[in-house]
Amino acid sequence: MVERKQQLVRDKVSRLVNWGHWFALFNGFLALIVGSRYLDTVGLPESALGWGYLLLASIGQFAFLAFLVYLLTLFPLTLLLPYAKILRGLGAAVATLGLCVLLYDTIIYDDYGVHLSPFAFDVAWADLHALLRGTSYIVTPVAILALELTAANFLWKRMAKLERLGIGSKVATLVGSFFIASHLIHIWGDASAVKDITRYDDAYPLFYPATARSFMESHGLDSGRDVPAEMPEQVINYPLAPLSCSRDTNTAAVNSQPNTQRQPNVLIVAIDGLRADMVNAQTMPFLASFSQNSQRFEKHLSGGNQFYSGMFSLMYGLQGSYIGSNDFKNISPVLGQSFKAAGYQLKRFGPKSNEASPRPLATFKDFDSSLMDDSVSRALADIQSREAFERWRAGQTGPWFTVLNLGAPDTYDTPVGFVGIETILAPAGMAPAERVLFNQYRQSLNFIDGELQKLLGNHGSEAMADTLIIVTGVSGKAFTSSSSEASRDLSPQTVRVPLFIHWPNGDKGSVNYSTSHHGIAPTLMTKVLGCTNPITDYSAGRQLLLPSEQPWVYVGDNRFFAIYQEDEITLIDRHGKYDVYDASFEHRLDKKLSAPDLIQVMREGRRLYRH
């Protein structure tokens, strides 16, 4: 009799487990319907291959999510409380909660571009009234619960028929094969850079498709790839409105002879790895002296810690969340477009190796390029770049706009035979290897200082008297030889850079409010070209000559970034994990992020996308 009862209990549990599997499959189908809302944000595939991958990945992922919820909630309860009525009610409640969370996540993703996480939840909670509009947030859960109760009872009553059909294992195998196949296809798509596949990498919650890099690393191979992920495929509306520029209105403001209305030349000297705290009379005496005759921005930040992100913020004036957009492979910065339209000759000089950086391909689309081979020596390439610029400038008869990129400090390089400056005691707290790099870095900066003196030492001469000169760092520098470590370091040493502007009219002085690379393009557009559009039409809404109304600066790319504020620094990755540090980056703070400011950050990062 006891064995008979035990067998009945086992049969009942087995039937409930089977019911749970079918119920999870049904909710995977509902999740697939709700999850289709993500495609409104990400966009639809453009090829049959993309559609095939998306179908496999979507079915596999949402079936996986539904089964995961079942495995973590209903399955343990089935063993503890094998009562059909209780489990059907609990199952309907759990499924309703899960679908509501998924639905809420689609709203969060559409508004902020991230999935639910501690970071996103804090931001969304502060903005809850704007996200949940009308009465749908009350009606929808009730409707879902009614549907779930109906489905739970329907499946239970037909379990015997489903068991007789014997198709459960076949359905499970089919769905499982979809899940595996999507990952295998993604490995190939990632290795082959098929954008119609990789564009969906961040589309779904808890979706971590296998990549060629992870596959090779798991087999002991080095993929050699370290490229920022692309943003979901959306159309960029940049600029937001046609630009209205008239150089005559502002030429006098930057020219030493306002009556001539002469168009000033513009020279941007952008130095890779130039830290603000290293510009001093001991290491860079010429630049320190040059800064005293220029406008000095004492609290300046680059928009990134790498060449591609720092240069993106400088040229486009946009925060790095836009870096992954495919549109910026073809849309050049309005800064270059506008100078070209105003009759300027555009030219850039620099090391050829920066071409391999994963920056948007159109950053210098409007410029003629003269790039130097730096495979042997970056310092030698810098000398060649300076000399090439001076020869080119001597032959110009009209106004010109030049970006001169010097790169030696980023690789601690100096020319063969260079006799620099004496080593000094490194700051306290540095490891032995860092102390060595610190002094080698100083030697490289001293070499660059000499090149700047040759380039700008005659800035008072007739050849340079009508030139607006900007000297800044593309990014700062962390003393490490590990590229992966440097790429994730967003501390002040990697993003605080000097910015000196030598105006033709002689304006100089110290600017003590916070500024960033995002303000360089708007300042040139308004002061040199006389553009009258609102700055928000084409940039992050900052400028250099007035304090920004935004109490934060976005630093980084679209995968890993930091929010710099007056008293704290918040580091955030693409999965929503965040840490808050004090302003010196020396102590991690036990506090939550500032949700109101982060709401502005997230919206600024999606403002230029067409919905």
The residues near 518 (Cβ < 8 Å, ≥ 6 apart) are 303, 313, 317, 318, 319, 539, 540, 542, 553, 554
Q: Are residues 141 and 253 in the same domain?
A: no
Question: Beta partners for 372?
Answer: 351
pLDDT at 583: 87
Q: How far apart are CA 279 and CA 497, in angstroms?
A: 9
Q: From residue 43, how far is each of 36, 65, 182, 500 by CA, in Å?
A: 10, 22, 18, 43
State which H helix or E strand residue 49 sits in.
helix 48-72
**Interatomic CA distance for residues 495 and 555, integer angstroms:** 8
Rounded-to-integer distance, Cα 535 and Cα 528, Å: 14
Domain enclosing residue 504, as ranges:
248-543
Confidence (pLDDT) at 471: 98
Instruction: Show the tokens assigned to 380.
Output: 């030698």
Strand, coil or helix: 400: strand
As a residue count, the chain comes to 611
Q: What is the CATH number of the domain that holds 419?
A: 3.40.720.10
Q: Of 202, 218, 234, which residue constitutes the final position of a domain? A: 218
Nearest 5°: phi and psi at 6? -65, -40
Which DSSP symbol is given to 58?
H
**110-138: burial string, b at 16+ Cβ within 10 Å, e else:** bbbbbbbbebbebbbebbeeeeeeeeeee
| The pLDDT of residue 225 | 45
Report the pLDDT value the prediction gives residue 183, as an integer from 0 to 100. 86
Exposed, middle or buried: residue 153 (CB in 10 Å: 0-12, 13-18, 19+)?
Answer: middle
Residues 291 and 352 in one domain: yes
402 found inside a domain: yes
- Both 21 and 108 in a single domain? yes
Residues of the chain with pLDDT under 50: 215-232, 257-260
The confidence score (pLDDT) of residue 231 equals 47
293, part of any domain: yes
My answer on whether 193 and 317 are in the same domain is no
Residue 574 maps to a domain: no
Neighbours of 422 (CB within 10 A): 8
Number of domains in the chain: 2
CA angle 45, 68, 196 (to 5 degrees): 10
For residue 457, the SS3 value is coil
Q: Is residue 104 part of a domain?
A: yes
Q: Which of residues 203, 218, 233 is at a domain's end?
A: 218
- CA-based nearest residue to 264, from 544, 518, 517, 505: 505
Do 276 and 214 reside in the same domain of the chain? no
Domain contains 556: no
Same domain, 406 and 483: yes
122 and 269 together in one domain: no
Kindly state the tokens that stand for 175: 């769905």
* Closest-CA residue to 26 (of 144, 178, 177): 144
Same domain, 280 and 340: yes
pLDDT at residue 392, as a whole number: 97
Instruction: Note the pLDDT of residue 3.
Output: 62
Let me know whether 127 and 180 are in one domain: yes
Distance, CA of 126 to CA of 85 (rounded, Å) = 39
Are 334 and 446 part of one and the same domain? yes
Q: What is the pTM of this model?
A: 0.72
Q: What does the pLDDT read at residue 412?
A: 95
The verdict on residue 8 lying in a domain is yes
SS3 271: strand
Residue 605 within a domain: no
Last residue of a domain, one of 490, 508, 543: 543
Residues 180 and 259 in one domain: no
The pLDDT value given to residue 215 = 47
pLDDT at 121: 66
Predicted pLDDT of residue 359: 64
Look at residue 382 in the predicted model and tell me its pLDDT: 97
Residue 508 lies in a domain: yes
Task: Tell me, yes or no, whether 450 and 518 share the same domain.
Answer: yes
Q: How many angstroms separate the Cα of 350 from the Cα of each of 171, 241, 361, 483?
A: 59, 32, 16, 21
